[in-house]
Structure 1
Amino acid sequence: MTEYSILAPVVPLRAEQLLPYAALVQWSAARRLWQGQATVSDPHQMFTAAAVAGFRVPVGTGVTLMPLRHPLEAALQAKSLAVTTGHPVVAGFGPGARVFQSSVLGRPYASPLQATREYATIVKGLVSGEVVNLAGEYFHCENGLPSLPSPPVEVGIGVLRPRMAELAGEIADVAITWLTPASYLRDTLMPALRAGAAKAGRPVPRVVAIVPLALSGEGRDGLTLALTSNMGHISLPHYVDMLRRSGIPIDPEDPLSGARALIKGDAFLFGDPATVAEGLDGFRAAGADEIVLNVSGVCRQYGAKTSLLELETVLTEVTR
């Protein structure tokens, strides 16, 4: 059965900005609270602050960027979060854009696939209680973490293209997509996930689809909302390539046409509650086990109160 979760649509400067969304997860049918990577505040610290404030809910990071921390530190953060919240944690990771890799490491990974393989292998071993001995091309670890009773940590990999999806099929607990149309998930990523899993002789990992959306209404412009929600992503080469592979023509030099293409290609869902729910059902049919509602464009355009109402409305529609 497909579960529905929510992405915190705001990058919190203070923990209290996250609390309404944690409360929504605690009191609604939503399964989990997700946060993406930010440089304003760290999601691990914000989730911990929410737990200390009394909102202990399942959480996921979708995705944190590998250049920012060694995999031992990443495993420790994820394990600590599971202990603090008392709930399972999905620790999602990705190499990030090449320009970001260069800005942190001095040069990009020559092979993002190999770097991700090493990183996820180390983290997965550490959170499972193993002593990891791996001398890789990009990461080295000869360590273990103290054995502590805690809820499980699932290790996720952000997947946009087939080769990373195949790698996730081989080694990850969870494959996490962002801005990928349901048709692309069904026709391109799912076959690659299955191929990777078959190669490793293991089950296909859970699939989490983070889906940007907004409800239509008087005075609302879908193009503005799509652009506000995704401007940063449709300027990055790996997202542009993924979207073009999915049949959505993105031109980084023409953001408005890109926003129009996102809506037409169902990468950004826009419409009344029934229409949005139908679009989300497409992700379920495509193979998503967990669908994460992303109303960040609504939050930036209309504020936190409206974004909470939007999430409640969509959750009611899809879980009725």
Structure 2
Amino acid sequence: MQGREELELELAGLPRERPGVAGRIAARGPLVRLPQGGAGLADADLSSRHPQQPEIPLIVGAMGAQALRVAGELADGTMPFLAGPRTLEEHIVPRITEAAARAGRPAPRVIASVPAIVTDDIDQARAAATAHLAFYDSIPSYRRVRDMEGAHRAVDLALIGDEATVAAGLRRYMEAGATEITVAYTDIAREEDRRRTWQLAGELTRSA
């Protein structure tokens, strides 16, 4: 079974043997520009502008060592998914930050995407998360970051519990070096749980 990266490279017509090189090719290839009156394609080096808007940041999903080096050199940041606090602190943040510094670029954004559900029915929410996240256990890149965290299954990286439990878990990502957090898979349990999760996310954002 192909991993997500292999499928993306195949669809893009890029070589699978050296994904880091393919990432450079993709980053330096034709980029979408947003001129007044409509969108178009133009060959350029990593700049995407609108005449009346600030530059659009390029955020990628880099998690592996080589991809993080490319992201640090060329992108504005990374949005890792299922990479826990230890993996951020010991692997992702240092690598992408060092690569950006070597390239003379600003400190990159690290946007942690975290499955999170605020609930009183932990068993039901965990069962739902297990079903939705099991796919990632079959993808090598996600298995690597899962294993770095010492987790056995992707669901082990989901934050599930009451407001205090989920808030404490999210704070650990910020302490590990995340510049921002997005919460994911908030709608896989009950509607009440989804509302509570987003309410907590709003409260944490306002208090940051």
- Give the structure-2-normalised TM-score: 0.79
- Equivalent residue letter for 1:166: R
**Structure 2 CA distance for partners of 1:307 and 1:222, relative to 1, 3 Å:** closer
Give the drift of 1:232: 2.4
Query: 1:233 and 2:131 equivalent?
Result: no
For residue 38 of structure 2, what is the aligned residue in structure 1? none
Query: 1:188 and 2:91 equivalent?
Result: yes
Query: 1:97 and 2:97 equivalent?
Result: no
Match of residue 268, structure 1, among 143, 147, 158: 158
Q: Which residues in structure 2 correspond to 1:156-235 (within 5 Å)?
A: 156-218=59-121, 220-235=123-138
- Equivalent residue letter for 1:158: G
| Mapped partners of 2:29, 2:115: distance in 1 | 31
Where 1:159 maps in the other structure, the secondary structure is coil
For residue 194 of structure 2, what is the aligned residue in structure 1? 307
| Mapped partners of 1:211, 1:146: distance in 2 | 30
Give the drift of 1:158: 0.6
**Structure 2 CA distance for partners of 1:268 and 1:196, relative to 1, 3 Å:** same
| Mapped partners of 1:188, 1:145: distance in 2 | 29
% identical equivalent positions: 24
| Mapped partners of 1:174, 1:313: distance in 2 | 25
| Mapped partners of 2:54, 2:193: distance in 1 | 33
For residue 6 of structure 1, what is the aligned residue in structure 2? none
Where 1:178 maps in the other structure, the secondary structure is coil
CA contact (8 A) 2:14 2:22 kept: no
CA contact (8 A) 2:125 2:189 kept: no
**Structure 2 CA distance for partners of 1:274 and 1:197, relative to 1, 3 Å:** same
CA contact (8 A) 2:187 2:194 kept: yes
For residue 76 of structure 1, what is the aligned residue in structure 2? none
Structure 1: segments with no counterpart, 5+ residues: 1-94, 135-143, 250-257
RMSD of aligned alpha carbons: 3.2
CA contact (8 A) 1:214 1:225 kept: no
For residue 60 of structure 1, what is the aligned residue in structure 2? none
For residue 29 of structure 1, what is the aligned residue in structure 2? none
Where 1:221 maps in the other structure, the secondary structure is helix
**Structure 2 CA distance for partners of 1:307 and 1:194, relative to 1, 3 Å:** same
- How many residues matched? 199
Match of residue 245, structure 1, among 128, 148, 165: 148
| Mapped partners of 1:227, 1:218: distance in 2 | 14
| Mapped partners of 2:7, 2:28: distance in 1 | 24
Query: 1:118 and 2:25 equivalent?
Result: yes
Query: 1:132 and 2:43 equivalent?
Result: yes
**Structure 2 CA distance for partners of 1:219 and 1:183, relative to 1, 3 Å:** closer
CA contact (8 A) 2:49 2:56 kept: no
Give the drift of 1:233: 1.8
Where 2:88 maps in the other structure, the secondary structure is helix
Give the drift of 1:216: 3.3
| Mapped partners of 2:16, 2:51: distance in 1 | 33
- Equivalent residue letter for 2:166: V
For residue 175 of structure 2, what is the aligned residue in structure 1? 285
| Mapped partners of 2:121, 2:50: distance in 1 | 55
Q: Which residues in structure 2 correspond to 1:46-85 (within 5 Å)?
A: none
CA contact (8 A) 1:159 1:168 kept: yes
Deviations 1:78-103 (A, max 9, x none): xxxxxxxxxxxxxxxxx94314544x
CA contact (8 A) 2:116 2:197 kept: no
| Mapped partners of 1:145, 1:214: distance in 2 | 35
| Mapped partners of 1:155, 1:185: distance in 2 | 19
Give the drift of 1:280: 0.6
